[in-house]
Chains A and B, each alone.
Chain A
Amino acid sequence: DADVTQTPRNRITKTGKRIMLECSQTKGHDRMYWYRQDPGLGLRLIYYSFDVKDINKGEISDGYSVSRQAQAKFSLSLESAIPNQTALYFCATSDLREEQFFGPGTRLTVL
């Protein structure tokens, strides 16, 4: 079984819809992250969490919110999706060295 899982793997939605991307991990790490990847821009950090009670904004948090339901679960929500949020979204976990273990990604398309 994969250490970091993301659901759904692919999603097509319409402008204005609320959508949640879920991430679960079995690595026992406290640190979890959400990134988005756009062509030519690499990975950019949306939100990160160092434990259940700690949530921090990354460089592009506008339009997104997160919930850390448990050590193993970190969800990303788009309250009202817009087309420029079409991207590949990655969840990741890390140990203290910050080697990040990535999930398989969620490809989101907002029409």
Chain B
Amino acid sequence: AQKITQTQPGMFVQEKEAVTLDCTYDTSDPSYGLFWYKQPSSGEMIFLIYQGSYDQQNATEGRYSLNFQKARKSANLVISASQLGDSAMYFCAMREDLTGTASKLTFGTGTRLQVTL
């Protein structure tokens, strides 16, 4: 079963507008972490933001914020005041705890964001 679901293969947003990229997850673990990464056309993976399952407040990093709705198992990324340089692929990922202190990340299939003038 897919553990991270990104239902938007592609999104368009006008420059200076806000955009929300959706992510839902599935886990029965009480302790988990959620991440968003950006992949520009050059290919590198850039960490954007992290939300822990026990964090009381939504994470924010500059123009990025994570709308964490635990009961709905969603962790949407909100980008405010979009810029042309935000055009990229965006991946949601979840940390899954294994045994002891071991854990790994599972990635969604990504959303391609295009910012237009």
Contacts and interface: CB of A to CB of B under 8 A. Distances in A.
Contacts of A40: 109
Given A40-B109, A90-B45, A102-B44, A45 B104 contact: yes
Given A41-B109, A42-B109, A102-B45, A97 B33 contact: yes
B68 interface: no
A98 B43 contact: no
B44 A98 contact: no
Contacts of B106: 45
Instruction: Describe B's contact surface by its main secondary structure.
Output: strand
Nearest to A41: B109
Given A33-B104, A41-B109, A105 B44 contact: yes
A108 to B, nearest CB: 13
Contacts of B101: 50, 96
Contacts, number: 56
Interface residues of A, number: 26
Given A97-B33, A100-B47, A104-B44, A43 B104 contact: no
A105 B33 CA distance: 24
A60 B24 CA distance: 23
Interface in A6-48: 33, 35, 40-45, 48
Interface string A49-80: 01000001010000000000000000000000
Contacts of A90: 45
Given A100-B47, A101-B47, A105-B43, A42 B33 contact: no
Nearest to A105: B43
Contacts of A35: 107
A92 B47 CA distance: 12
Interface centre among A56, A101, A102 (most CB of B within 10 A): A102
Interface of B: 33, 35, 37, 43-45, 47, 50, 52, 91, 93, 95, 101-110
Interface of A: 33, 35, 40-45, 48, 50, 56, 58, 88, 90, 92, 94, 96-102, 104-105, 107
